[in-house]
Amino acid sequence: MKKFVMAAAGLAGISALAGCAQVQEPAPICSMAGISAQRQLVALPAATPFDPSPLLEMPLNSVSITDFNVINKLFVRTVSAQRTPTGTVKVISQIINCTDYPLNIEGRTQFYDQAQAPSEPVSAWKRLNLAARTSNTYSESSIGTKNVQYYMVEVRETR
């Protein structure tokens, strides 16, 4: 009887393992085509000195990937900011590695006042390690309190 129970348990284990034979992609799955379609290209040079600048500014309150080595490898899932109890601003962003290999990146934040002028020195670069197809959270806090109204996060590959 024991041999029969062991054999039945062994067969049940084999059938349970049969589900493991399915190949599943690890999460997250990134669609870079959709991200690339949303990027704005730099306009043609201005015809006269009075025409608007051909350079597009990086939007405030966002994360800008400023390194061509990783621009098609990273996806910024979320970016948000909140006031802390002491009045400083804390920026938090979730960044996803869309590749099948590890990436080392770094980010820094510039905080701005109401007039969109820098309100304090840019932060130091912070390193993030991203294993293949995983995410990590970048965060930075301002030094100033009431004078901080906007922010911009830059991300690049670790140097």
**Domain ranges within the chain, ordered by starting residue:** 32-157
The pLDDT, as a whole number, for residue 110 is 97
Question: For domain 32-157, which CATH number applies: 3.40.140.10, 2.60.40.3230, 2.40.30.30, 3.30.750.24?
Answer: 2.60.40.3230
Cβ neighbour number for residue 130 with a 10 Å cutoff: 21
pLDDT digits (tens, 9 = 90+) for 31-62: 666 555 555 544 445 555 666 655 556 788 99
Closest CA to 91 of 54, 32, 140: 140
The pLDDT, as a whole number, for residue 157 is 95
Residue 142 in this model has a pLDDT that exceeds 60: yes
Tell how strand 103-112 and strand 126-130 pair up. Answer: antiparallel
The pLDDT, as a whole number, for residue 54 is 53
pTM of the predicted structure, to 2 decimals: 0.69
pLDDT digits (tens, 9 = 90+) for 103-122: 999 999 999 999 999 999 99
Closest CA to 90 of 45, 123, 51: 123
Q: Whole-angstrom Cα distance, residue 104 to residue 130?
A: 6
Q: Which position has the higher pLDDT, 96 or 45?
A: 96
Q: Whole-angstrom Cα distance, residue 137 to residue 129?
A: 10
Q: Is 37 exposed, middle or buried (0-12, 13-18, 19+ CB in 10 A)?
A: exposed
Residue with tokens 């966002």: 62
| Residues 105 and 126: beta-carbon distance below 8 Å | no
Q: What is the chain's mean pLDDT, rounded?
A: 78
pLDDT digits (tens, 9 = 90+) for 9-35: 444 444 444 444 454 455 555 766 655
